[in-house]
Structures are given as C-alpha cells and as structure tokens.
Amino acid sequence: MEKEILLTIKNLTVKYKTDDGIAEAVNNISFQLHKGETLGLVGETGAGKTTTGLSILRLLPERTAEITEGEIIFKGENLLDIPKNEMSVIRGKQISMIFQDPMTSLNPVYTVGSQIEESIFLHNRDLTNPQIKEKADEMLELVGITPERRDDYPHQFSGGMKQRVVIAMALACDPELVIADEPTTALDVTIQAQVLRMMDELKRKYGTSMIMITHDFGVVAKTCDTVAVVYAGEIIEYGTVQDIFEDDKHHPYTTGLFHSLPNMNQDTERLQPIEGLMPDPMALPAGCKFHTRCPHCFDKCKTVLPQDIDFNGHMIKCHLYSKEV
Amino acid sequence: MEPFIKTVGLKKYFKTPSGQLHAVDNVNLEIARGTTLGVVGESGCGKSTLGRTILNLLPATGGQIYFEGEDITKPSKKRLFALRKEMQIIFQDPYASLDPRMSIREIISEPLIVYKEVKGQALYDRVSELMDTVGIARRMENYFPHELDGGRRQRIGVARALALNPKFIVCDEPVSALDVSIQAQILNLLMDLQKERKLTYMFITHDLSVVKHISDEIAVMYLGECVEKAPKEELFKNPKHPYTQALLNAILEADLKTSLAEKSIIEGEVTSPINPKPGCRFASRCKYCMEECLSDNILLEECGKNHFVACIKAQE
C-alpha cells in the first residue's frame, strides 16, 4: 500500500546574510514525510537542523535569512508561495512546533491555562469561552497535568512539566504535523523518557506526523521511523531507522558519530572521535563538505560534490559508494 | 591503603526563605589515588555542590574532608592557598568559565602568576607546553575565548586546571555542553592526561554512558544523598537501588533492540530538597516503598564486595 505523503521538501536552500558574509545554513535539502510517521533530523550544532524546521513554518528571521531555492509542499500546496496572513492560519493549526527550551518558550506573565487557550481561541473562532476552557483542560489532562493547575504560572512548574505544557499547546488544535526541536535536550534522563513516551503515545492516538530534530541517536532510535543525518546543511544519509542502525553501509560521518558515542553494552578503551571541526558555513569546502575530516577522503572528494547513491531507499551521499552501483 | 580523598558524613546546607536546603547530606566517599570516581544523578541532586564542597569552594556545613589523610575541612587561609595548587576544577560551561577579556595565553598563565611558580621566558615556555598538551595550536595564543568553539574552550579550561600540576581534579560536567564528536575528543584527552600524570578525578555528570566510559567507581546521588556506590562493572551489571535501576532503564540506547513502550519508566519527579522528611528520599517514587522506608534515614551499607547501597529492600 502506498503511504500518503504529507510533506515534501525539494532542494531547500537557506542562506543567512551576516556582516562577515553569507552563511550557507541549508544546502539543497530534500525529503518526504509520510502521514503518521516521524522523521528524525539528526546532526551536530550548526548543521542546519533548526533552520530547516523554521523554514517549514516560515519563522526564519526576515531581515537576515533568505530561502534562495526550493519548495516546501504541504498537502499539495507550496508553503513558500502562500501569503503571510494565510500562513498564520496554518501555523499552530495544521503545523505546530515544540521548542527546545521550555524555560524560555513559555510566557512568564500568563498562566499556563491561558497560554494553551490562546491558540485554541485563535484557530477556532466559533467556540465559546467555556468550550475553549474545557478544551484547554482536556489538553492539560492529556499531557498528564491536573487541570487544577491551569491557573499556575510557568515558574511554578518543573522543567519536565513545562515541556508538557508546551506540548499541550502544540497539540491543542490537532495539528497534522508537529516539528519538535530538541524537545527533551534540556530535561533529565528519567524525565526525558517520560516525555518521549507520552509524545509517542499521543502521536499514535491522533495519527500526527512529526519531525524530530535532535543530536541524540538514542532519541532517534526510540522515536523515529525514518532518519536524515545532516552535516553542514546537507542530508548526507537518509533511510529508515533500520537502514541507519542496522545496515552496514554508512556515510563516513555517520560511522564517525557512532564511534564517538561511548557504548553502554561493550567496553571500549578509547573513543574514536571525528578529527577536526564542522566547517564554517561562511566558507564551506568544495566537493564533499565532509572531506576535510574524512578518513577515506580521495582526490575526487575534494572537487566533486557527491550525489545521493540509492540502496533501495537508503541514500548515502558519498563517492565511496559510487563505484559500487 | 589510605584513600586519597575521603569524606565522612559530609553535609552542605543552604539557607533559603522556606527552610534548609539539604544540597549534600551525609555523604561518605573514598577515592583511591589515580582513579576516577564518577558521580551521577539528575539536576539538583547535589553532585556539583559535593564537588565544590570537597574543593573548599563552599564551606562544609558538617562532616569531614580528608586529602591524603589530612583533615582539610576547615583549613587555615595559608593552608587553603597551598591546597588549591593540589586540587583543581574543570567547569561545565566553557562559555561562562573563561574571562572574555583575557587572551588564551593570559588565562592559562594566571594560576602560574598567582602562585609565583615561574616567570619571564620560563612562564612563556610553560604556557606553550600546556597548550601543546591539550592540543591548542600555539598560533591561537592571542585569541580571545569568543573566537573559539566549545571544544577548544574546554581544552583551555583543562590547560588552566593542569597549570599547577594538581593531583586531584574535579571535572564538573566537562563535556555536556559539547557535540558528541567533540565530546569524544575531550574524554580521550582527559583519560590520556590521567594516565600520563597519575591524576585522580572526580567526574560529575548526568550522562550514564560517559560515566561508564571514564570511571573506575561510580556513586549515584539522589536529593543530596549517595544512594549507591560500586565499581562500574558491578553497578551496571547489578544495580541494587531502585533509583539506579530507574536511571539505567531511562537510558535511550542508540539501537533498535528495545522500544520506548517496552521500557519501564519511572513515574513522578524529584521532590524538594528543602527540609526533607526523614526516611528514604526516593520513597515517593519507589514502587517497592514499605512502611520502614519512611521512618528512619537509611544509610549506605555494604551488600557485596565494594558495593554499597542505601535501601532497606536491597540490604535484606
């Protein structure tokens, strides 16, 4: 059975203008998201994960960021073409976002109840006040907070509880797509597991699709269906979780990341870090962007940008594999 | 053999408007020379306070700290000054722990100047040597912290801690602000330095996979108390305290063997450390909680070779 496609991103390119030059944050990213599935965007700081997420909602800073190329097709409509005021109807209603830091993404001077009500009110103008209140209470209950706490302010909640409130806000209008930007990075391990499990249950219950932005392979393994590994603004490897965690073929960067992680199940004397640093987005190297740190680099890598090599849907952007196919 | 660092009933309380905050309560630890003690726990469990109290950066409320057999709980000013040379700290946030108005060379020289160790050309050479040791290119000596990435900044934090050739270093979450590939570089550096210089570490972290990698022994903390202490193999193979079990269960492994739904995840959150009730502090989240757990404070007791646990059920 062919799965329904909810979101298609084609050749998305985002640049930031800065005083020192142009930062190439996202370079030619393409992916598809099926209905009800979770896609993981995984990579290190500055890889362009959050920029990709913000582009979908058109929340990039207007004065510095520019989408120079590409299409973001959501349910058959290119989000980059529709007028601003129509975008605010989609934002929060059909696509919503969970931000990384629950300490800063809530407004400290409003009660959590009223913050959840706001998006319900804005997107459902026909509802009466008691109905909105009821819906907000329902949302709080859904994320495991008793509705009696609706009149509390964010500072009265712990980090994990705040993130639950943020999730309640994001889900309040039954969105079809939720973009979660490092939703559990600021939380403790036991709380992280609680919150992720709750998100997983809600996702299944409502058939919501999700883009999970994270740097943590553990989170990816436990929550995602498909995975895109991002490096210097490019997707260098894409596949199902099985492809990424169980296949032997990988991009050297993905392999490097796995070797950098201390393994819980076996003892390693020494970790094998990836040498060097991520390239500066203002001065990206020619050819493969990873070639400066790659242990397998050969001449072609330094000049020619590698294409996606397709192994039955498992894509790897690396010259090492072009010989094989 | 005399333990290198030893704490006996160490306490650190803070006064708050709503009462006494028991940040560190009755902690007994020993660290052998040249080994690493990993201290794990969630935010607010007192692991950083413990590190700072041992270093005398915070005065202890009660209990004793021994350094090579000497009681250093309330040292004289002069003795403390001398002790600082032996014990150093690497801080969590490499963005906040370096003075933004000092160059790399100035930051690393500062301890050497304060202690009048060397000066002139010898000072210059010592700093260059330290920069080589931690892998910072000498051409960067005049850079300021804001010009460097997190990994390099943390290397400077390490160089500064090493400047006076200390014997003991408290590493307070030194890699949690870094990306995984950089984190691995810093962990390797710390382990190499330990081997070369026979350093003793107290490694504070919330990341269980990191602590497993770097430690010899591990102490698990919950709300100011050490609830379990064991050699790392033993702790991971045979965790006795329900909280340790919950922590290990909450790890998200980077593999597909178990799903989130299959994991047994602990409910509830850490309770307040202000004026804690007597009894086990984990009781409100513990599925094995019995009446006895709520009456008396539960102390660490040996339940296996070098394996200590503070739990009535596990001790039986």
* Residue (of A153, A202, A145) closest to A175 by Cα position: A202
CATH number at residue B37: 3.40.50.300
Dump pLDDT digits (tens) for B171-192.
999 998 888 888 999 999 999 9
How many Cβ pairs closer than 8 A exist between chain A and B?
Answer: 118
Mutate to test the interface with A, among B93, B153, B179 (most CBs of A within 10 A): B179
Is A161's CB within 8 Å of B269's CB? yes
Burial class (CB in 10 A: 0-12, 13-18, 19+), A270: exposed
Burial class (CB in 10 A: 0-12, 13-18, 19+), B30: middle
Dump pLDDT digits (tens) for B86-137.
999 999 888 889 999 999 999 999 999 999 989 899 999 999 999 999 999 9
Dump pLDDT digits (tens) for A92-146.
999 999 988 888 889 999 999 999 999 899 999 999 999 999 999 999 998 989 9
- What CATH number was assigned to the domain covering residues A5-94+175-240? 3.40.50.300
Q: At what angle do helices A112-123 and A159-171 cross, to 10 degrees?
A: 10
Q: Does position A316 have pLDDT exceeding 90, yes or no?
A: yes
Percentage of residues in chain A having pLDDT higher than 90: 73
Write down the pLDDT at residue A224: 95
Paired tokens of B223: 């709300």
Domain positions in chain A: 5-94+175-240
Write down the pLDDT at residue A209: 96
Measured in whole angstroms, the distance separating CA A121 from the mean position of its chain's CA atoms is 27
List Cβ neighbours of B46 (8 Å cut-off, separation of 6 or more): B12, B22, B23, B24, B25, B221, B223, B224, B273
Dump pLDDT digits (tens) for B134-174.
999 999 999 999 998 888 999 999 999 999 999 999 999 99
Q: Quick one: average pLDDT of A283-310?
A: 92
Give one word for A248, left, alpha or beta, with left for phi > 0 and alpha for psi -120 to 50.
alpha
Cα–Cα distance between B146 and A16 in angstroms, integer?
A: 20
Q: How many domains would you assign to chain B?
A: 1
Q: CA of B285: how far to CAs of A55, B157, B222, B270, in Å?
A: 42, 38, 12, 8
Interface residues of chain B, partner chain A, Cβ below 8 Å:
42-43, 149-151, 179-185, 187-188, 191, 206, 208-210, 212-213, 236, 246-247, 249-256, 259-261, 263, 265-267, 269-270
Cα–Cα distance between B254 and B246 in angstroms, integer?
A: 18
pLDDT-derived band at A67 (thresholds 50, 70, 90) equals very high
Q: Which helix (H) or strand (E) holds A217?
A: helix A217-223
Tell me how close the Cα of B81 comes to any Cα of chain A, in angstroms.
36
* Residue A263 one-letter amino acid: N
Q: Does position A240 have pLDDT exceeding 60, yes or no?
A: yes
Q: Largest alpha-carbon pair distance within chain B?
A: 68
Is A222's CB within 8 Å of B213's CB? no
The tally of CA atoms less than 13 A away on the side-chain side of residue A186 is 17
* Cβ–Cβ < 8 Å for B178, B157: no
Tell me how close the Cα of B103 comes to any Cα of chain A, in angstroms.
21
The range of the structural domain enclosing residue B114 comes to: 5-315
Which member of B210, B256, B263 has the closest CB to residue A262?
B210
Cα–Cα distance between A279 and A232 in angstroms, integer?
A: 7
Which member of A260, A263, A270 has the closest CB to residue B180?
A260
Mean pLDDT over all residues of chain A? 91
Cα dihedral: B3, A269, B162, B230 (round 10): -30
Nearest CA in chain A to B259: A222
Look-up of token digits 């003795």: B79
Q: Quick one: average pLDDT of B302-309?
A: 91
Write down the pLDDT at residue B295: 83
Q: Does A260 touch chain B (CB under 8 A)?
A: yes
Is A261's CB within 8 Å of B246's CB? no
* CA angle A167–A170–A171, rounded 5-degree value: 90
Q: Does position B2 have pLDDT exceeding 90, yes or no?
A: no
Predicted complex ipTM = 0.83
Nearest CA in chain B to A272: B184
Is B188's CB within 8 Å of A160's CB? no
pLDDT-derived band at A2 (thresholds 50, 70, 90) equals low
Question: Which pTM value belongs to this model?
Answer: 0.88
Write down the pLDDT at residue B255: 87
Dump pLDDT digits (tens) for A154-190.
999 888 889 999 999 999 999 999 999 999 888 888 8
